[in-house]
Amino acid sequence: MEDRFGHRISYLRVSITDRCNERCTYCMPQELQEWLPRHDILTFEETIRLIRIASDLGVTKIRLTGGEPLTRRDVIKLFRQLPGLTNLRDIGLSTNGTLLTREVEPGPPDGRTRPAASLTMAQAVRACGFNSVNISLDTLDREEYARVTGRDLLPDAIAGIDAAIAAGFPQIKINCVLIRGRNQENLNQLIDFAAERSLLLRFIELMPVSTTEVLSETNFLPVAEARRAIEAKFGALIPQPEFKTNGPASYYQIPGRNQRIGFIGAMTNLHFCESCNKLRLTCDGKLRPCLGSYLEFDIMKPLRDGASDDELRQFFLDVVERKPEQHDFRTTYQPGRKMVAIGG
Ligand SMILES: C[S@@+](CC[C@H](N)C(=O)[O-])C[C@H]1O[C@@H](n2cnc3c(N)ncnc32)[C@H](O)[C@@H]1O
Ligand code: SF4
């Protein structure tokens, strides 16, 4: 699939729930806590059908997200169906990490291996063929973590990161949203934490996804400023333009260390959208061609009205045709939906 501006679409981010066990200030409007009714959420069967159709159209990478995807009941039953889909080569999960240590019943025996007594959620996800997991961690200060996420779950998030390491994912990334006055003093601590565990750490600029108030002069911290603060401690970062992870991050090496860190300058990098390869499917069955645009198209209706695979394929192609050249966050974007419902 290719849009009018030459973006080749090979990546689908799939939000499977709007629910979350945390309440990050920048993601969920604090006053709004009503979840979508169950009937308005795509069933596992519907989700798999849409992913299969996207994969028929050349999507090779998917990332399951939310809300917090691991809060969805029986989520492993959904995950187990993914590796069978034709073109998928890269299956990832975005999570806040707090539920990765949860115990999960092992799946039915596959005839080759004896099922273990029980698995951690991280092991169960890995056993479903996921090769990457992105875990959100904005600070290592427990009180600050509780203020940002609305929940005192830092120990659980760290235990979850360690469970992901123990489960043997080939790629684990830590994502930190930059917030002035919250975590800019502690970025170096996160860098050391990632180094100790050989994890890839990325710093992400705040975007006005859910509410415009999340982004103000007081709390917006541009990646360039974060980089300067990091360089004050570690010395000039060494650009790594050749290093790519199928996303919009720019990577740098820390001098004297075998460690890379990434910066995602969604707001300040004017070339941010040039290499965009993504579509998004929301948990209530809307296809969104761009996170930072009001455009979204209801694929749940034709799906539930009995559309054929051909018709649904055409729906995807029409949405790709409408993909904008770049996001509207810097200009006309008006938040219409919680990030938690779109899937970050
Ligand atoms: C919406 S969350 C969903 C997955 C999971 N619950 C998590 O926290 O990783 C996906 C990512 O979006 C990021 N995010 C949420 N709201 C954001 C905002 N307003 N600006 C930038 N990133 C945001 C989160 O920090 C997280 O890394
Ligand atoms: S960023 Fe993730 S953990 Fe935080 S409220 Fe949003 S969905 Fe939940």
Decide whether any atom of ligand 1 lies within 6 Å of the 204 Cβ: yes
Confidence at residue 176, expressed as pLDDT on a 0 to 100 scale:
97
Nearest CA to ligand 1 atom 22: 206
Dist. CA 327–CA 269, nearest whole Å: 11
Q: What is the pLDDT of residue 332?
A: 55
What is the Å distance from ligand 2's center to 344 Cα? 9
Please give the distance, rounded to the nearest whole angstrom, from the Cα atom of residue 27 to the centre of ligand 1: 6
**SS3 call for 94:** strand
Ligand nearest to the CA of 137: 1
Quick one: which atom of ligand 1 is closest to the CA of 138?
A: 25
- Radius of gyration from C-alpha coordinates of the chain: 20
Distance, in Å, from the CA atom of 91 to the CA atom of 63, rounded to the nearest integer, reads 6
pLDDT at 190: 97
Atom of ligand 1 minimally distant from the CA of 15: 3
Beta-bridge mates of residue 46 = none
Q: Please answer whether residues 194 and 174 qualify as being in contact, where contact means their C-beta atoms are separated by less than 8 angstroms.
A: yes
CA torsion sign for 133, 244, 14, 86 is negative
Any atom of ligand 1 within 6 Å of the Cβ of 214: yes
Ligand 2 neighbour 66 (Cβ under 6 A) = yes
Ligand that lies nearest to the alpha carbon of residue 148, given by its number in the listed order: 2
Torsion of CA 237, 243, 244, 250, to 10 degrees: 20
pTM of this structure: 0.92
Question: Among 17, 201, 339, 342, which residue has the most ligand 1 atoms within 8 Å of its CB, making it the best to mutate?
Answer: 339
Q: Is the CB of 149 under 6 A from ligand 1?
A: no
Mean pLDDT by 10 residues, the chain (344 residues): 83 95 86 82 97 95 96 96 89 98 79 69 96 97 95 98 97 96 91 97 87 72 94 95 81 95 86 81 92 84 97 95 72 55 56
